[in-house]
Chains A and B, each alone.
Chain A
């Protein structure tokens, strides 16, 4: 079993083990019904594959069962789940970059604008890859924005970064994702450079 890394304490949650008690079953079922799809998709955007996304989702809900009783405010379940899955992922993350980062260089200015029609014409894999290929600092807030409809304030609290940073990362993330979508649409993915190779060059 992978271990969770120590991270900053979320003010929404009390972490004392002496507070330990279980969330009741009705609340748990409601949490599953309300959030499991968004949580899974967010986990997928972090891990990049279905097996790890399932494991992250299961582990997060197992922790909710075991420790969800610590939540003082039940309206914070959504924030707790997404914070927990993100921390679990960070705990796992001492590993290679799973997805090469896309570099669209010479054609950047030639890319067509992305429209709802363009998006409809792309394959599922191209759409998901356009998210998964983003650098993590852009991918995570954007995934939170798309899955379970997190507001900028919720993203700021969850990632513990200032609101201004969330705004600029969302803006940049959308710009990068659209370029990636446009490149996939016209088939001009020129050059894929794994981030490690790039680091070695520098």
Chain B
């Protein structure tokens, strides 16, 4: 093995010594021990790689809320006890007997949430008849909604004052009615959707997911699920950080 071959192999060596006992590196390491020039090069490489790895970790910071969002996914994905692996075989028989219809009657909560999110994002992106009732008066909006049999006892995020409302409409998702409120705040367009939680999971804190080109934040409070759409995550976070959820 010449020094060029040894260098090629040693480029894959991880600083920290995890590969020290790997036979693939043995000959190249031995060569580096024997050859002072190669040894010097290898020592410089290790120092540089260690520093580069640390700098890259600093240069690509992990968003602060990501971990809690990932842990919150458990809550969404939680399934009834009878669906645990030990009972899965028995459940599979039932599923076979009932056929595909069961899938549509009892879809997975996470699938449901994704479907809700995608449907609301489509309404939010819709330009034609974006709102049906136009008003900057939240009281008038609540009266209009009440007349259409929609729940009006919802909490607005505190950073979205009623006066910034542009209007509202009633939208459908899986035969459930949801309220859509359109806001423009500091020139930024946002839509807030509120619906009885029904079959949707209790997500608790906001989950940020980009859907159909829009950023969405979904959270639940009491028996209601809320979904806010906007241009980007920072905008939604700014609105929601002032709201107790």
List the interface of chain A (C-beta within 8 A of B).
Answer: 1, 18, 21-22, 25, 28-29, 32-33, 36-37, 40-41, 44-45, 50-52, 54-55, 57-58, 61-62, 65-66, 69, 114-116, 119-120, 122, 124-125, 127-128, 131, 145-147, 149, 151-152, 163, 166-168, 170-171, 174, 177
Contacts and interface: CB of A to CB of B under 8 A. Distances in A.
Given A37-B62, A54-B63, A149-B18, A65 B77 contact: yes
A8 B191 CA distance: 40
A82 B220 CA distance: 31
B77 A55 contact: no
B32 to A, nearest CB: 15
A162 B47 CA distance: 27
Contacts of A146: 52-53, 56
Contacts, number: 128
Interface residues of B, number: 51
Interface string B22-57: 101000000000000000000010011011110111
A32 B215 contact: no
Nearest to B74: A25
B118 interface: yes
Interface in B102-143: 108, 110, 114, 118
Q: By DSSP majority rule, is chain B's interface helix, strand, loop, or mixed?
A: helix
B73 A62 contact: yes
Given A65-B77, A149-B18, A171-B8, A125 B59 contact: yes
29 contacts: A21-B85, A25-B74, A32-B67, A36-B66, A37-B62, A40-B60, A40-B63, A41-B62, A50-B63, A51-B210, A52-B210, A54-B208, A55-B210, A57-B66, A58-B69, A58-B207, A66-B77, A116-B48, A119-B52, A124-B55, A127-B56, A128-B59, A131-B56, A146-B53, A149-B16, A151-B12, A152-B12, A163-B24, A167-B8
